A and B are shown apart, each in its own frame.
Chain A
Amino acid sequence: MMDARHLAKALADPPYVLGLDDRGWAALLAMAQAERLAGSLAVRLDGLPIPAVAREVLRNALVTAETGRIRALWEAEMARRALAPLRIPVILLKGTAFVAAGLDAGRGRLIGDCDILVPRDRIAEAEAALLAAGWEWVKPDPYDDTYYRTYMHELPPLIHKDRDAMIDVHHNILPPTARTGRADAAALIAGAMPLNEGLFTLSPEDMLVHAAAHLFADGDLAGGLRNVWDIDRLIREHAEIEGYWQRLVEAARRHGLVAHVSRALRLTHHLFDTPVDAFLAYLPRRSDVAFMSRILARDRWGRETQKALRFAFYVRSHWIRMPSLMLARHLWTKWRTRQRSR
């Protein structure tokens, strides 16, 4: 039975698609859309003689990626303008950072929200400044708001009243209640690299650590393939820099995320043949198989397969973010809210 290895192969080795029949193309495109990798696939297949319909679908994705890029960069710029008078540094994260820095990982990337990081001791000021400049809360229910403020590493999402784009303001890359990892926000900020006035990105090694943290600890692994692709692109671009692997080990240790980074390297090497440092990646573990299955759980219609595994990961991702008593209460309250709204 076909799984997302079909898509992984196309990304890793573009000429693979030249042998596809209509059915193979339909599956590839559906998977790419479902994994939000259609833009990245378009970039990888650029220049190859592919069927006209496929070219049209991929070009659509590139247009979407470009509009998203402009939107995310503009949100970052407007946030910079709002926070500059207070001299609060704005560190761009994830997709927004990739496109702002012109990285390969940003080419064709479909960006959702604009993600930024500010120092924790300035977050209240940042919140006030953004609200004063026209941002509003995306109306959460009151329970979610408490959850966000008390337990999470970010403000509840904001949206500007005049623009249709959301901004997520983080003060760390992992929640303080996470079971694994104790990301050192001060170190992230100290190591940040300036882009231009007031805007920064994380250092290359911190960027990788964040991507690994995001892949395993920060979500429920849906969209995992895209995160692994980000990691592949980041490594290929940055590994040439003198001392990169050494600094990556140090960063992973500093943030208590060695296991995550290590596993991320193994997965990307396996999926995309990324050249990785053998010392850091070391021997594969049995649980890698479960992770791999989850990341590849996509069928030729773009549907998620392996539902039992999916539930296990949903629980696991919440387990990682919150100690068990809080987790039980959180899931119970969310379930109750959902029931009431039926």
Chain B
Amino acid sequence: MTLACGPVTFRIGSDWAAPIKALDALYSDYPKPQSTIPHFTVRLEATRWWRRWIAPSIAISGDFRLPEVAPLALGMGLLAAEMAMNLQVALGDRRFLLIHAASVEKDGKALILTGESGSGKSTLAAMLALKGWRFIGDEFALIEPATGLIYPFPRPTSLKNDAIAAILALAPADRFGPLLRDTPKGDLRHLVPPSDAIARMHEPARPTLLLYPRFGAKAAVRDVGKAENFVRLTQASTNYVALGETGFQALTRFVSDVPAIAVDYPDSATAIRTVNRLWKALG
């Protein structure tokens, strides 16, 4: 099957029908791409030929590969497909400076949330997207080097463990994928972005504020200096080095133009209040 999200088209092949069916259902709200030529090919393959039927186990493969990715059980086919697509973009894209971050937009301006796994950025972005912001992306922020604009890449958000219940309370049930238990990261469910975000997935925005959220700490707000920001972002980028000179230009411009603030928060309500306050203060 072929699917497109923002500026990227994927072709997905699978040794089993189930993961494809699950993907079709999850992406049912996304318009089919006009051209089926893919930027990246992804394959979900049986690790051994007999593993198509016996204790089926999925090896992720495609144009770009990492040798040490552990295979997943067939029941987690949807997760395997999502991971495989992320891997292709992370390793193969050179059109954009990629930063591991979630992002949302309001009035043409983008708020970007970056940080490690567990920082709460995905959950926070998902909540903001349900409270009047436009969802731009969960895993990657795509920054166009020539213009500095962020291009939407609104794939479904992977919600884990406690976050699932928190968002279930806010979003309609039909926006969720199936519950996947006992994944390497615990319970996992995909949240499909709001229809509006999908409909507008080709509209870029101007990055205006970068936040480093940290969940589970006492409320605190601190400016992040340009040098520290630059270093942290080179680590948060999967392709900074691969872009060479273009990467340096794009990232130095980004850290010069976009203020960066570290936000510690004990709960989401505090986070959202803080975000709104900081956003308003920018004018």
Contact = CB atoms under 8 A, between A and B. Distances in A.
A and B touch in the complex (CB under 8 A): yes
Interface of A: 22-23, 25-26, 29-30, 33-34, 51-54, 56-57, 59-60, 63-64, 66-67, 70, 164, 301-303
Given A301-B13, A303-B43, A33 B63 contact: yes
A67 B239 CA distance: 11
Nearest to B11: A26
Given A63-B94, A67-B243, A70-B244, A302 B39 contact: no
Residue of B37, B39, B63, B241 with highest tally of chain A CB at under 10 A:
B37
Interface string B29-60: 00000011111010101000000000000000
A26 B95 contact: no
A6 to B, nearest CB: 14
B92 interface: yes
20 contacts: A22-B37, A26-B11, A26-B36, A26-B37, A29-B37, A29-B38, A29-B63, A53-B37, A53-B38, A54-B37, A56-B39, A56-B95, A57-B39, A60-B92, A63-B242, A67-B241, A67-B244, A164-B241, A302-B41, A302-B63
Given A34-B63, A301-B13, A302-B63, A25 B93 contact: no
Contacts of B242: 63-64, 67
A292 B5 CA distance: 39
B93 A60 contact: yes
A30 B242 CA distance: 21
B116 to A, nearest CB: 21
B270 to A, nearest CB: 40
B103 interface: no
Contact of B41 (A26, A51, A52): A26
Residue of A23, A51, A67 with highest tally of chain B CB at under 10 A:
A67
Contacts of A70: 244
B69 to A, nearest CB: 16
A294 B25 CA distance: 39
B238 interface: no
Given A60-B92, A303-B43, A25 B37 contact: yes
Contacts of B244: 63, 66-67, 70
Given A29-B41, A301-B43, A53 B95 contact: no
B158 interface: no
List 6 A-B pairs, minimum CB-CB distance, nearest first: A63-B94, A33-B63, A60-B94, A53-B37, A22-B36, A25-B37
Interface in B232-253: 241-244, 246
A30 B9 contact: no
Contacts of A302: 41, 43, 63
A19 to B, nearest CB: 14
A33 B35 contact: no
A25 to B, nearest CB: 5
Contacts of A53: 9, 35, 37-39
A231 to B, nearest CB: 25
A26 B45 CA distance: 18
Contact of A301 (B9, B41, B92): B41
A76 to B, nearest CB: 17
Interface string B208-241: 0000000000000000000000000000000001
B39 A33 contact: no
A39 B37 CA distance: 18
A30 B63 contact: yes
Nearest to B33: A53
Given A26-B11, A26-B38, A54-B37, 16 more contacts: A22-B36, A23-B36, A25-B37, A26-B36, A26-B41, A29-B37, A29-B38, A34-B63, A52-B35, A57-B39, A59-B95, A60-B94, A60-B95, A63-B243, A64-B94, A302-B41
